[in-house]
Structure 1
Amino acid sequence: MTQPPRRLLLASCLLALLTACAGGSSSFSLIGAPVRVYDLTGKMDTILDAEFDFIDRMGAPGRGGEVCCASLPKKWYPGMIATVRWVKDPDASLLYPTDPDEFRAYIKKKRATYQRLSAQMELLPYTRTCGVTLVFLPCDQVRVTIDCDQEGPLISQWRQQAAAMKGKSCPNTP
């Protein structure tokens, strides 16, 4: 009889442990939350794709819209960290060649310039969620809001920050 690979055994034990912990405590029950993107970078079509990674990865189109569903704990707890990954077109433009061959060459060349970025952040407290909103600001800054009551005021505040940054150069970051 062959023995199962060590990784499979460890993964099975971890899954059983997590299932037991989640089942025994209502504070760790999960909810599904839609993910949406606000691109406040100042140019249309700058953010092409975004992912919110907390318990699992959930992507969202950069051009707007909503994708279901990211998994979140029903109740917020201190120290919740998520990773946001996104693809950015540093020279977004809506002008494309109309000739099919030129268009294919243009897109191939353009895709080579796309930037893949990521940021880890602590999630703000939430009590009532309407979903995960990823807000992209100039200078590769990203913000996340989950709470329904905070979303409107925070997005308004971030719009003002984005407007204040318009035309200014971004500081170099390591």
Structure 2
Amino acid sequence: MSDTGSTRDKILAAACELFAAQTYGKASMKQIADRLGIAKPSLYHHFPSKSAILDALIGAPLDELAAVVDAAGRDGGDARRAVLRGCIAVMVDHRDVMGLLLRDASVYGDGTVQAVGRVNATVDRAIGLLAGPDPDWRSRLRAAQAFAAATDPIAQFPDVPVDELRDALLAGAEAVLDPAER
């Protein structure tokens, strides 16, 4: 790994820790630089803004989430289960970063409109697949509730083993989605 990549990765790790500890809105570029022992202008060499750091942190997980939803939509099998399983897997695998989106309202601001738009578009597609073809409003509501049940609690359980958390989230979301089957 090049020195630039190493420094970039260190910046992302430090920023993620600060964002989680203080919120995205309260953490500053100076604090990130200070945490790393680098000058603030050096930080700007790697990232032009704090929102660019956030974009770098959430970009890959959002790409994975979108790919899961897209694949479920193309799959001839059980799209609903594929969406739930795939979204849960991505969210759990990236729970430190995804927790920023789930628990930090300061992430949703003018500088992050594009990232938030990506999140919302992906969530809307996932809920559409969960609702099924030609859904009524109750089916759409239940789909939204199931998606929330599958994803929202992730950041609240950082110490639960991954496999156990995945299984519990899936069971809870399926119970919301199909209560008659439980």
- Who wins on radius of gyration, i.e. which is larger? 1
Name the one with the larger helix percent. Answer: 2
Q: Which TM-score applies when normalising by structure 1?
A: 0.30
